[in-house]
Amino acid sequence: MVVNEKVKLAITVASLVAATILLAAEYRRRRRRKQTSSPSSCYLHSDIKPQFGFKRVLADNSFSGFKHLKKKKLEDGGGEKPSDSHPYESEITALLESPRLDEFEFLRGEYSLEMSGSYVWVETESELKKLAETLAKEKVFAVDTEQHSLRSFLGFTALIQISTQEEDFLVDTIALHDVMSILRPVFSNPDICKVFHGADNDVIWLQRDFHIYVVNMFDTAKACEVLAKPQRSLAYLLESVCGVSTNKLLQREDWRQRPLSEEMVRYARTDAHYLLYIADSMTAELKQRGIEDSSSTDDKFSFLLEASRRSNMICLQLYTKETEDFPGNAAASSLIYRHLNGHEDNSSISLDPKFQELVRELCAWRDLMARIHDESTRYVLSDQAVIALASNQPVTPEQIHDSIAQADLSSDSSPSAVICSHLDDVFQLTQHKLGKLDVILPLVLDKCLGTEGTCPISVFNYSLLINFNTKLTTNRSTPKRHKSLKRFTRKTSRDLFVKKFSCKAPVYHNCRIYANDGRLLCYCDRRKLEWYMSRGLAKLVEEDPLAIMLLFEPKGRPEDEGNDFYIQSKKNICVGCGEGDHYLRYRIIPSCYRVHFPEHLKSHRSHDIVLLCVDCHEVAHAAAERYKKEVAKEFGIPLFVRRVLDSVECESAGGGDSEDAGVSPLHLRTAAMALLRHGNRMPSSRREELLQTVKMYYGGRDISEEDLEKALLIGMSPHERRKLERKKGVTVSVKQENSNNGSSVEEHSEEAPPGGDMNGESSVVGDDSGGDGAPELNDTQCNGNILHQQNSKLSLLGHGPHGKQVVEYLLKEYGEDGVRDFCQRWRKVFVDALHPRHLPGGWDVTHSGRRDFGEFSVYNPTKKVSTG
């Protein structure tokens, strides 16, 4: 037995150990699998690119526009030009208008064409300062630049070659990137001529990287143009003018490398060294041609002047960042176009909407990844790789990898490091797991640069990030957004908007109210039920979902009145498109009219307040605002109150006969506000203008500070006024004028039950007065001038006065039918604008909506107090 027990124990221990080992192995295996399927780290954590050492970058990878140098003009009181104009425009225009002929002397005294064995490598700040001092003494120097563009989104200047008659300088613009402004003065000095060959790109590259602007230039390529030379390349000039050959292939070298190879140094020096000699010889030629061609002595310089003019025109160019409607859009369109043209036989693939969609998605993703990692888009994913992925539609990460490698057969670094460390993204993108195009980008940005992001944040992508409103944002005022960003950020701001304004809980609780004979009267929300219950007017008949039965006899039944609408349960979705994730209440009949309806016509709210998603809301609202303008025209009743006049002044002015007495309440308010805030700082002419506006309200008399304060309140509803008081922390004392027009426009009495009509779910109904941002008001006419009669609810600043007059007119001319027709018109406007596909059954443009439940109705004003 003992032995047996030992064996048993041994077996138990052995199996436990085995199990542990197996578990550990499985654990390791799982971990490994997890690591390979989602690389936790971006290649940039180990691949340090030289530009990441730059501390300040003028053109970053965000979508915001490029800000040009702002030159403080000392002579005219420090007035600054806008950042999108050329800071040296006037200097350049001056050169264009009056060129100085004595300047075209590029060489002086002894000159040896040969390139000496030595040159100056400039890589420290002090060396750069010394160079600037040297150049400041010259009348002319030659310039060329070398760029790097493959491993950078916008490209950067890797080297500047500068040659004087005596020396060749190679400026290491990577090492000196942040202090290159040291050279700004010599480049913008109109007394020093800069000789380039084909400067179009150099000029804007210098602006982009260093805010260096060239003023006074001689471009030997422009001279070629004017002289109609058979070729205009620098290689041709070097050969034909200097007898020097150069290997232009070196132009494509990686100019970031340090130290530069001997061959590259030689190439770089060659591009600048001979320019002064070439310019000198071409100037002579231009003068000669002028003399040959001219009939008078006046225009013997015309060729030279033309070359100079064309050169300086180049200087006027401004660097701008490329923009497009949506990231990668232009590239995608041209790819699709080129592919379609090259593959007539294969058009079944290319015309496939899935192919085109994938091309667009890949291009958008590629664009954003290039910006995030500061790589060129072609480095991230080549055009042929995009086409390959969109055509093959690979289904595994391995297939994606192979598709790209195959497409880039000639390249030995394919797929790129970006693809390798973010293969999962491409995989999800190709499998459509990331969603539609507009969600992909914020998602990708958050994945890469968000708080849990995989990729490093740099000077190049920081602004991209803060412009996106993602988690890292330090809620400071974001820079003005670029047009191309609009659609891009629209998604983000839409999300914020939805979060802020959409209904927090389902709007329709779909609780039921039954009549005492058991017939369904309507659906409504919980609060309405509780209102009837707490007053002993109903009994609970069902718990889940809630249902009550009224204990009194309701006046009518929905089916008797053709109001089937009220006995439909309602879905918590946008009635326009069916969106169910978020919705907002939308009032089909604008509040500025509806508040003035007779009480019993108002009560069918639930029919005319519907749920809409943000996008449908926008469409419907825009249509309603347009229609309001039509109503204003049709009825001849303006949307805004045109004139107010202080009543006291109105009387003393003899009833305000004059048509132009008074001012618009909005004008009055803004004028008073501006005067109070900036009165002593504004130009006197502007101040006088604003004072006139306010004086007009006070009948032309002189006004005090107190009058200004009072003017601020004109047209405000008490609600708005209370808000202002709360903000200022004081009670604004202003003489309240009594309303002599007693009609009650009170929307909700304290006694009113929650919610609108019987089906009006309380949360649907809410506070009508805030409906369209146009609080309601009362007003009376005073000989054509509307006097502000401040009723408890009214404001003159919105559409309230318009709404009131329209409704009064309708009632006077057509009675209640007029109001009903008016409602139908608004429903039609709504339907025409949106073509809603999800309106609840029974919803009807011609809805008459007389709905109340008789003497105990929540809308029977006389019963309100007694029931409560």
Q: For residue 546, what are its two tokens?
A: 């809630």
List residues bridging with 196 in a β-sheet. Answer: 219
Q: Quick one: which of 192, 190, 189, 223 has its CA closest to 308?
A: 223
Residue with tokens 């950078």: 152
Structure tokens at 426: 């491409």
* Residue 579 near residue 613, CB atoms below 8 Å: yes
Amino acid at 55: K
Identify which of residues 379 and 698 has a Cβ nearer to ligand AMP in the complex.
Answer: 379
234 binds Zn ion (CB under 5 A): no
At 158 the three-state DSSP class reads strand
**Alpha-carbon gap, residue 62 to 47, rounded angstroms:** 22
Q: Which of 214, 455, 567, 584 binds Zn ion (CB under 5 A)?
A: 455
Distances (CA, A) of 796 to 642, 643, 664, 673, 708: 10, 10, 9, 16, 17
Q: Residue 253 or 707: which CB sits closer to ligand AMP?
A: 253
Binding site for ligand AMP (CB under 6 A): 144, 146-147, 149, 251-252, 255, 271
Binds 169, which of ligand AMP, Mn ion, Zn ion, none (CB < 5 to 8 A, cut-off by type)?
Answer: none
Least Å from the CB of residue 149 to ligand AMP = 6
Q: How far is CA 631 from CA 389, 427, 799, in A?
A: 55, 54, 12
Residue 147's binding partner, choosing from Zn ion, ligand AMP, Mn ion, none, with beta-carbon cut-off 5 to 8 A by kind? ligand AMP
Using CB positions, name the residue nearest to Mn ion: 271
Q: Is 42 in the site for Zn ion (CB under 5 A)?
A: yes
Shortest Cβ 255–ligand AMP spacing (Å): 5
Q: Of the two residues 251 and 288, which places its CB atom closer to ligand AMP in the complex?
A: 251
Nearest CA-CA partner of 447 in 493, 435, 359: 435
Report the residue number, 255 or 532, with the smaller CB distance to ligand AMP: 255
Min dist CB 269 to ligand AMP, Å, is 11
Considering the complex, state which of residue 149 and residue 317 has its C-beta at the smaller distance from ligand AMP. Answer: 149
Residue number, 59 or 369, with CB nearest to Zn ion: 369
> Among ligand AMP, Mn ion, Zn ion, none, what does residue 455 contact (CB within 5–8 Å per kind)?
Zn ion
# residues near Mn ion by CB under 5 A: 2
Q: Which does 747 bind (CB under 5 to 8 A by kind): Zn ion, ligand AMP, Mn ion, none?
A: none
User: How many of the chain's residues bind Zn ion (CB under 5 A)?
Assistant: 2
Does position 381 bind Zn ion by CB under 5 A?
A: no
How far is it, in rounded angstroms, from Cα 470 to Cα 474? 9
Residue 859 CB neighbour total at 10 angstroms: 20
CA atoms of 670 and 662, how far apart (whole Å): 15
**Min CB(41)–Zn ion separation in Å:** 8
> Smallest gap, in angstroms, from Cβ of residue 246 to Mn ion?
9
Rounded to a whole number of angstroms, the minimum distance from the CB of residue 373 to Zn ion is: 5
- CB 159, CB 268: distance < 8 Å: yes
Burial of 743 (0-12, 13-18, 19+ CB in 10 A): exposed
What one-character DSSP code corresponds to residue 319? -
Query: Please, how many CA atoms are within 13 Å of residue 152, restricted to the half-sphere of its CB?
Result: 23
Tokens 């001038």: give the residue.
785
- Minimum CB separation from ligand AMP for residue 374, in Å? 16
Q: Quick count: other Cβ atoms within 10 Å of Cβ 648? A: 13
Q: Which stretch binds Mn ion (CB under 5 A): 241-249, 269-277, 305-313, 342-350?
A: 269-277
Q: Which does 42 bind (CB under 5 to 8 A by kind): ligand AMP, Zn ion, Mn ion, none?
A: Zn ion
Binders of Mn ion in range 117-156 (CB under 5 A):
144
Picked from Zn ion, ligand AMP, Mn ion, none, the partner binding residue 768 (CB below 5 to 8 A depending on kind) is none
Whether the upstream peptide bond of residue 327 has omega within 30° of 0, thus cis, is: no
252 touches which of ligand AMP, Zn ion, Mn ion, none (CB within 5 to 8 A by kind)?
Answer: ligand AMP
Judged by CB, which is closer to ligand AMP: 119, or 698? 119
12 class by beta-carbon count within 10 Å (0-12 exposed, 13-18 middle, 19+ buried): exposed
Choose from ligand AMP, Mn ion, Zn ion, none: what does 713 bind? Cβ within 5-8 Å by kind. none
Cβ-based nearer residue to ligand AMP, 271 or 747: 271
The CB-of-85 to Mn ion minimum distance in angstroms stands at 29
Residue with smaller CB distance to Mn ion, 234 or 614: 234
Cross-strand bridge partners of residue 585:
611
Place of tokens 């965000």: 62
Calculate the CA 661 to chain-centre distance.
43
Q: Do 760 and 605 meet the contact criterion of CB atoms below 8 Å apart? A: yes
What are the backbone dihedrals phi and psi of residue 507, each rounded to the nearest 5 degrees, phi first?
-80, -45
Count CB atoms within 10 A of the CB of residue 232: 17
Stretch that binds Mn ion, among 79-87, 221-229, 267-275, 430-438 (CB under 5 A): 267-275
Q: How far is the CB of 54 from Mn ion (least distance, A)?
A: 22
CA distance 836 to 830: 8
Shortest distance, position 252 Cβ to ligand AMP, whole Å: 5
Nearer to ligand AMP, 141 or 586 (CB): 141
* Residue 150 C-beta: closest distance to Mn ion, Å: 17
Under rule CB under 5 A, residue 271 binds Mn ion: yes
Q: 194 - beta bridge partners?
A: 141, 217
Q: Minimum CB separation from ligand AMP for residue 226, in Å?
A: 21
Comparing CB distances to ligand AMP, the nearer of 252 and 812 is 252
Q: How far is CA 532 from CA 409, 553, 604, 753, in A?
A: 77, 13, 18, 9
CA–CA separation, 128 vs 124, rounded Å?
A: 6
Q: Which is nearer to Zn ion, 42 or 714 (CB)?
A: 42
Residue nearer to ligand AMP on the CB measure, 255 or 488:
255
Q: How far is the CB of 248 from Mn ion (least distance, A)?
A: 9
Binding residues for Mn ion, rule: CB under 5 A, are 144, 271
Binding residues for Zn ion, rule: CB under 5 A, are 42, 455
